[in-house]
Structure 1
Amino acid sequence: MQDMLSHSDRLLNLLDKAYDAPFRPDSFDDLMRAAHEFYFTRADAAAPHALEAGDYDNNRMITSHLDRIERLLNERELENRAHPGNIASPALSTLLIDPATGEVEGNPNAREFFGHDFPVHIRKLNLDPASRTDLMQMARQAVGQEGFTTDIRLVKRRQDDAAHLAKCGRWVSAQYSTGGETRGLAVSIVHFQWSAQALAFCRSMFDLSASETDVLAALLNGKSQTEIAEDRCRSVETIKSQSKAILRKSGCRRITDLLVLATTYGLIADDGSSLPQGRAATGPAIARPDRIFTRADGRKVSYGLFGDPAGKPVLFVHGLVQGPFFPADMIERFRKDGIRVIAPSRPSFGRTDPPRDWKDFDRTVVEDARLLVAELTGEPVTVVAHQGGVSHACRIAAALGSQAKNMVMVSAGVPIDEEKHIAHMGMQTRIAALGVKYTPRILETMIHIGIVTWLRKGLKPYAQNLFSNSPTDLAHLEDPRIYPICEAGILHMIEQGAKALIHDGKAAMADWEADYAGLRCPVRWLHGGCDPIIRPDFVEEFAAAHGGAPVEIVEDGGNTMHLSHSEIFHRVIAEAASS
């Protein structure tokens, strides 16, 4: 009883930190420490007996607490970002509007974007009259209306044809953690100029016609349906019909939802030319999973097709952080090697639809891959299992049968033995390993907190935190060839929320040894000597116990090994595809 009581105390401490996180965005480390204490009785020992006995996911009281924390996250996300203490965030132009005085505060990005210093009266703010009136009215509503919630608006500067996406919510006083009063409106503006590349990416993601793409572009620049009809010499009903078609194809219910989603994809696809003052991003072009395969049942699967169009097919089953992305030099090497890489996104990753039933997540992964391969090729396929995609890759290879001619395991790890392997993992990986198995609902909320926290701080700090226990990978984040892949992979991973990570994590933590043992094709392993998840000796031990599949150890390879040591990766894949 005493042990269970102490474990309950640790759960209460974890919930307390989770409640605190929406109000204190700098408290994520405290949450992680509380989570580690909850999952582990000692620094080196898990507490599965207490986790199993707790049955936390079926506890109504705990579920009620988690639901409330999720609501707080949704309500406070913008307030945390726009609070004066966080206004220096470099990600967005942030404004704080006080309707009582008309004074507007802004961060450095806003000073650059609007072209003048802050504070400034809203009458002098570089906004067109309609945008200024709209924001001031919302500021009054934020203070005076009890039911005011966050909203999306399009705003324009004076003499500026382009419209910019603005997320608006309450601006609360510095005492907000103790219930301080609302002061006005917090506005976060994405200053993004639509390039042809970004618009083309949205077109491919939504599977739009050329005419629908033109209508989307006009909507993104703040034009009304009447204005679009006049510009295009069409009836308003025609434009309304096309707008409805765009909503249907994008899966959005409202135009504002569409604008958010389209801008998200525009930012992902943009080459940096849209940044203010011509501050274009540097680094190589990235090949993206921008094709859409529509299954017979209507589900859409996003995938990339890279390399030689007539080459030997290789199915790349992606991991988490790098996803199905490759730099331009690797694509060129695939072409030279005569390889065609098929790289699908798993359900609810990137633009792939979620499964119709989350209980069928693993089966849907296999079906998506099998149907996609059947659509694209009838040739024998080399299956590449990348990191946490390994359990899926084994099941996909089994489903392909004789069409799977061989497999390559790249940083793929082994089935997790809690007593043997977890003690050697970093804190966040250890927490995730037990969380997906014993308390997925609690872990889903923690992942949501992490997404909100680290996206506010920026993707680079998020990646640095993710690799904090891997000096090798931290060094690789400074490589302009590697970091853009990690950034794109992180966005791909979290784009549709935390639920996919939970189900994908369950698959990685499940005992997939029987799936591996059932393979009827040759297997070889490529593993980093500095892998932060699974030590290479564990991989060698597992391979030796299952037929002695060859393991090639890359001595200084880490989580980003296939990018940092791409010449080895290419050699191994080319040998497998040609065998």
Structure 2
Amino acid sequence: MSQEAGGLSIETVNNQTDVKDLVMSIMQGEQDYERLLAWLEPATLEQKGLSADTALTLALLLEDVEQQAELNDQLRALVQDDGAPAMVLSETGVILARNPAAASLFAVTEGESVLGMGVRRAEFDAFQQRIVKHEGPSLLRTFPDVNQSMPVMFIGFYQAQHQIFLLRAIECQWSESIDHALEDIFQLTEAERAILACLAQGMTSEQISQQRNSTVGTVRQQIKTVLNKLGATSQVQAAALASALASQPQTSAVEHAQPAHLSSNPLNLGESVRETRRIGWRRYGKPGGRPVLCFHGAYFGAGEFEQERDWARREGLDVLIVERPGYGRTQPPGKKDELLQTQIQDCLAILDQLGWKKVSLLSHDFGFVPALAFADKRPQQVQGLFAVSPPVPYDNQDTLDPVPRNQRMFIWSARHAFWMIRLLLRLGQVKARKYGPEKWMEMVFEGAPHELPFFDTASGKKVSVASYAFNLNQHSKGHELDMLHTVATDWSPLLRRISVPVHAVAGSCNSTFPLAQTQRLTEMNPALRLDTIEGAGLTLCLTHVDAYFGKWMSMMEGEG
């Protein structure tokens, strides 16, 4: 097998071993995602399937890819974990990842040995043997300062699936959800929960009073109150409970936390729960204004663009965005639940909470199909639908030549081998994380350079960063579900029977949904009005805001 500076050359990927090596090297960050797309490209252009051997090899790789992706996610989450010192080690004692607290504690970096943590080889071997022998976690003693005798104790767990050790420093610190549970179940105040944590660390009343700048008498009274609320007969019992809570393995807060950029975002963010599923929603514009239900796009239609929010506020629009399953915070439906019906019920639940009886609909790109489904199901609640950059039902005979390779691969996979979507998404996430939040649109619009200049602006970078977290938060599950009901499923019957007014705008330079194909929407529904914005692409909701908003307002005036 010939080699290039970056690894395998496309010409040498000619057997199933080569295919496996290529895919796994991409997952491990050793090669670029574009190599696989280049190798698969002939199949997408010639409208034929993969060879049986290649299809089988790729299908069998799904489990390995998911396993490596899970490990990648764990390492990434740990690096961003702001909790107690934590590290991931290989079986040979090599440091694979560390969080900020561990980085400040030890003068070692990824790729170095556990020996740099003051752990002798014999001690690390004994640690491993205890885990194997007793089939459970064990303790590892480390020394941040080799010149001092004060150790830091870590509790270590072994993950056989990934062949790694996860180490977390022993501290009396429980998760926020456990903290809320202590408040709800025992009615412990914030101060009383802090007292409980001090007891678990073995602190005396005098030590607690010094730490909290309180009198000893006040602390003793607080301890007495804590014991009464817990139903404990001694400080030892209370401390044992607190220590047990703090010692439980905790999911990294990174997995469920709001992206950092949202802390100062002018969007009104909320969450609801429907039948045990979490539903995220966003709201902007003028509260109490004309109600608009927006079905967001895949990359930039979730209310993140400041100019669009300003327009809505000036025009008196109250815009609600219910995050679709797999995006943002909304959890995907169960295996037995129909996707579009789940989305409709999610929207109806939030509309009911707000008391909105009738709404205008707005959709961005892939949001068009769920918007059609909502209008079809509840026409009495819909005044009209305004669609920005709508997709078109794909026919197996449609040529994909004008579509950029990255996007063409997903469309082809959705139509011919849907199982490949997850494989491509997982590989794409590795590349997206290399680009980072501000630059990842360069990957999204690979082959469509006319879409990129906006993302070099200050506003564009903000949209890109927000979109990055919104998309990757659930490992691009939302994109997978979009491909299922927009490309792999024939939704043309929805469009043909829709009874509410539909007004769409499309860019003349849209290479993702080429204008020539988009114009077929009017053939399927002659009542649909389609306007073209010259020089605009898929990103027209960002680059041609005045033009698209003017057409939207014109439609809404007609509704009124």
Normalization by structure 2: what TM-score? 0.69
1:45, 1:119 → 2: CA distance? 48
Match of 1:496, SS state, is: coil
Question: What's the CA shift string for 1:337-387, capped at 9, x where partnerless?
Answer: 111111001112211122022652222112222333333244432111210
Alignment correspondent of 1:550: 529
* Residues 1:114 and 1:360: Cα distance change in structure 2 (over 3 Å): same
Give the total of aligned pairs: 484
Match of 2:66, SS state, is: helix
For residue 314 of structure 1, report the CA deviation from its aligned partner.
1.1
* Residues 1:97 and 1:505: Cα distance change in structure 2 (over 3 Å): closer
Question: What's the CA shift string for 1:286-320, capped at 9, x where partnerless?
Answer: 526x212333x343321112112211111111111
Question: Given that residues 295 and 368 in structure 2 are in contact (C-alpha distance below 8 angstroms), is that contact kept between their aligned partners in structure 1?
Answer: yes
Q: Report the AA paired with residue 256 of structure 1.
A: Q
Q: Report the AA paired with residue 257 of structure 1.
A: T
Alignment correspondent of 2:64: 68
Does residue 258 of structure 2 align to residue 265 of structure 1? yes
* Residues 1:518 and 1:535: Cα distance change in structure 2 (over 3 Å): same
Q: 1:383 aligns with which of 361, 379, 396?
A: 361
Match of 2:338, SS state, is: helix
For residue 211 of structure 1, report the CA deviation from its aligned partner.
6.0
Question: What's the CA shift string for 1:472-510, capped at 9, x where partnerless?
Answer: 221111111122223222322221224443222111102
**Where do 5+ consecutive residues of structure 1 fail to align?**
1-7, 88-92, 126-131, 159-165, 171-181, 189-198, 245-252, 272-284
Question: What's the CA shift string for 1:549-571, capped at 9, x where partnerless?
Answer: 33222222223221222222332
Q: Report the AA paired with residue 462 of structure 2.
A: P
Q: Report the AA paired with residue 508 of structure 2.
A: G
Alignment correspondent of 2:403: 425
Question: Given that residues 360 and 383 in structure 2 are in contact (C-alpha distance below 8 angstroms), is that contact kept between their aligned partners in structure 1?
Answer: yes
1:423, 1:500 → 2: CA distance? 25
Alignment correspondent of 1:325: 303
Alignment correspondent of 1:448: 426
Q: 2:436 aligns with which of 447, 455, 458?
A: 458
* Residues 1:227 and 1:450: Cα distance change in structure 2 (over 3 Å): farther
Q: 2:36 aligns with which of 31, 40, 59?
A: 31
Question: Given that residues 79 and 186 in structure 1 are in contact (C-alpha distance below 8 angstroms), is that contact kept between their aligned partners in structure 2?
Answer: no
Alignment correspondent of 2:499: 520
Question: Given that residues 45 and 423 in structure 1 are in contact (C-alpha distance below 8 angstroms), is that contact kept between their aligned partners in structure 2?
Answer: no
**Aligned counterparts, 1:62-211, within 5 A:** 63-75=59-71, 114=104
**Aligned counterparts, 1:150-549, within 5 A:** 226=200, 234=226, 237=230, 256-262=250-256, 264-271=257-264, 285=265, 287=267, 290-295=269-274, 297-357=275-335, 360-509=338-487, 510-544=489-523, 546-547=525-526, 549=528
* Residues 1:504 and 1:106: Cα distance change in structure 2 (over 3 Å): closer
Alignment correspondent of 1:46: 47
Match of 1:477, SS state, is: helix
Q: 1:561 aligns with which of 528, 540, 545?
A: 540
Q: Report the AA paired with residue 22 of structure 1.
A: M
* Residues 1:110 and 1:395: Cα distance change in structure 2 (over 3 Å): closer
2:307, 2:202 → 1: CA distance? 41
Q: Percent identity?
A: 14
Q: 1:570 aligns with which of 545, 549, 552?
A: 549
For residue 224 of structure 1, report the CA deviation from its aligned partner.
7.8
2:190, 2:467 → 1: CA distance? 26
1:409, 1:417 → 2: CA distance? 21
* Residues 1:449 and 1:141: Cα distance change in structure 2 (over 3 Å): farther
Q: Report the AA paired with residue 259 of structure 1.
A: A
Question: Given that residues 414 and 484 in structure 2 are in contact (C-alpha distance below 8 angstroms), is that contact kept between their aligned partners in structure 1?
Answer: yes
2:191, 2:428 → 1: CA distance? 33
Q: Which has the larger radius of gyration?
A: 2
* Residues 1:211 and 1:63: Cα distance change in structure 2 (over 3 Å): same
For residue 395 of structure 1, report the CA deviation from its aligned partner.
0.7
Match of 1:265, SS state, is: coil
1:450, 1:34 → 2: CA distance? 15
Question: What's the CA shift string for 1:188-229, capped at 9, x where partnerless?
Answer: 9xxxxxxxxxx9xx99xx9x79968x9999999xx7894699
Match of 2:425, SS state, is: helix
Question: Given that residues 328 and 470 in structure 2 are in contact (C-alpha distance below 8 angstroms), is that contact kept between their aligned partners in structure 1?
Answer: yes
1:396, 1:266 → 2: CA distance? 29
1:98, 1:552 → 2: CA distance? 58
Aligned CA RMSD, in angstroms, stands at 5.5
For residue 452 of structure 1, report the CA deviation from its aligned partner.
3.2
Alignment correspondent of 2:244: none
For residue 135 of structure 1, report the CA deviation from its aligned partner.
13
